Structure 1
């Protein structure tokens, strides 16, 4: 199953609105197991992992055991149901990591295989499978995408000096891994402050992964950005999504280039676009995974809205001091018993920096 999970990760950022699934077919005999077929969800969401694995295994899929990271689909879509494909391939057992909450599936794939006489075991590596497909599961279970903050700070939690100078706080190893993260998300979202201070491209620029850059989204509040900002003028990939409040004064036909799509949403009482409406619009576009790379204001807004599911925190072994720019602003927290709590899922050293993956703890 761990091999199937590793295969599934290849699809992250490339298969929305579908889940990223991995499938391994194994033939067992008296000498042990032998992998006869491997598959993962292909870019665009099709073909599915199960049919890819069956195609590679050919006749050797007969009598094999299928390890699948998500319940095989049981509905007719652009392709035939994967549960039927496994049945037709003649597998004798299916080991499934977790159920698919989509109402068109939700246990139906398991039931269909059992009725065909296939032994089905459910729950192997369930936690890891749910974490991997957190985006797809979130859209089905909560109606919004999975949201991750990516932050790079000093040891004392600062993102820039008092004059806003920030390049670079972390080392090259952390920055390279940050680019790899971008390739695993459907959308990367930032704010006007980050554009004005850093003028980032917000693309994946690792050799060989440039084509896996996510869709870029920009939240504009009260501040105008230059017409030649890199996030607006990048010539490859889909248009940048620019979210404005309905009352924003910028003229669409004058400000935004041909690679930009203007998206108007409701404003809050301070005149900023409402985050829940931005996330709802992204879900409607088939987005499941959003990476927020922004400044203190937008980071704080997402945390206040309880909209952060995980944090990718890169921490340098340097100190800027209290007169510098913090990664998170005021949250109005006056009770330590009600703190926003996260669990450390992963921790590793990157050069002279420390990387931590933090996952939001369930309430209660």
Structure 2
């Protein structure tokens, strides 16, 4: 299942509104099929893995999300296809919250005499499909806020100069994160001051540049999406992962509204002194309310910089 979760990561940012799922099929201790949800949401991970494996009778299928139980004009229900193929066992990490499936896929497999185990590596699988699960539970994308700051919490000099706070290794990692999101957003001030490209500039991943959005009043540039209010998050079609990258005011707006699910904090070993703060006022009146809201999940060194990754508690 751990390997299936890793495969699921290959589809992140490219499968919405379908979930990014991973699947591995094993028989007699040998992997005979591997699959992950393909760009645009089809083929599903199970279909991809089964096409590689061929005959799966008697095998064990490991899948990160319950196989779908609803037929679609784009393809048959995976639960039906698996049931007909007669594997001995299906191991599932997460039950699908989509009301069109939600337990019905598991029931269909068991009705076909297939042993089903659920909850295998569930926490890791949930993290890998955070976008889809957030959309299902909250009706909005999973939001990652990226901040690149100096040791004293500055993102720019007093005149707004910010190239570059962090070094090339940290910037490359941020581009990899861009490639894992369907949409990237900056504030109106950042757009007008920096005219950012917001693309992915890593060799081989240029085609995975996310759609671009600007937050704030006014028109969006051609090809961009305008979000004038945070309630517009619910209207973003085909966006399960939103990467918020620019502007102290925009960062503050998302934090104050409690809409940040994941925080990437890149810290450079420099001291700026007077300069622009990373985050504007979030309306905090009592320090007690600031504690126990974030959980550190990862740290790593990127060149001379340090990355800390936090998730909301």
Q: TM-score, normalised by structure 2?
A: 0.96
Partner of 2:64: 69
Partner of 1:80: 76
- Contact (CA 8 Å) 1:69, 1:98: kept in 2 or not? yes
- Contact (CA 8 Å) 1:50, 1:85: kept in 2 or not? no
Using the TM superposition, give the Cα deviation of residue 84 of structure 1 relative to its aligned residue in structure 2, in angstroms. Answer: 1.3
Partner of 2:249: 297
Structure 1, residues 262-293: CA drift from partner, whole Å, max 9, x if none?
Answer: xxxxxxxxxxx2212x20221xx121110001
Moved over 3 A (4+): none
- Contact (CA 8 Å) 1:16, 1:286: kept in 2 or not? yes
Matches within 5 A, 1:1-364: 1-28=1-28, 33-59=29-55, 61-77=56-72, 78-221=74-217, 232=221, 239-243=223-227, 273-276=228-231, 278-282=232-236, 285-321=237-273, 323-339=274-290, 341-361=293-313
- Contact (CA 8 Å) 1:22, 1:68: kept in 2 or not? yes
Q: Residue 186 of structure 2: SS of its match in structure 1?
A: strand
| CA–CA separation in structure 2 for the residues paired with 1:195 and 1:132 | 30
Using the TM superposition, give the Cα deviation of residue 113 of structure 1 relative to its aligned residue in structure 2, in angstroms. Answer: 0.8
Using the TM superposition, give the Cα deviation of residue 166 of structure 1 relative to its aligned residue in structure 2, in angstroms. Answer: 0.4
Structure 1, residues 324-351: CA drift from partner, whole Å, max 9, x if none?
Answer: 1111112221222222611111111100
Stretches of structure 1 that go unaligned for 5 or more consecutive residues are 225-230, 234-238, 244-272
Q: Residue 270 of structure 2: SS of its match in structure 1?
A: coil
| Two-structure CA RMSD over aligned residues (Å) | 1.4
- Contact (CA 8 Å) 2:262, 2:309: kept in 1 or not? yes
- Contact (CA 8 Å) 2:11, 2:20: kept in 1 or not? yes
Equivalenced residues, count: 311
- Contact (CA 8 Å) 1:54, 1:89: kept in 2 or not? no
Q: Residue 111 of structure 1: SS of its match in structure 2?
A: helix
| CA–CA separation in structure 2 for the residues paired with 1:53 and 1:89 | 12
| CA–CA separation in structure 2 for the residues paired with 1:82 and 1:156 | 52
| CA–CA separation in structure 2 for the residues paired with 1:357 and 1:294 | 17
| CA–CA separation in structure 1 for the residues paired with 2:203 and 2:221 | 22
Using the TM superposition, give the Cα deviation of residue 43 of structure 1 relative to its aligned residue in structure 2, in angstroms. Answer: 0.5
Q: TM-score, normalised by structure 1?
A: 0.83
Stretches of structure 2 that go unaligned for 5 or more consecutive residues are none
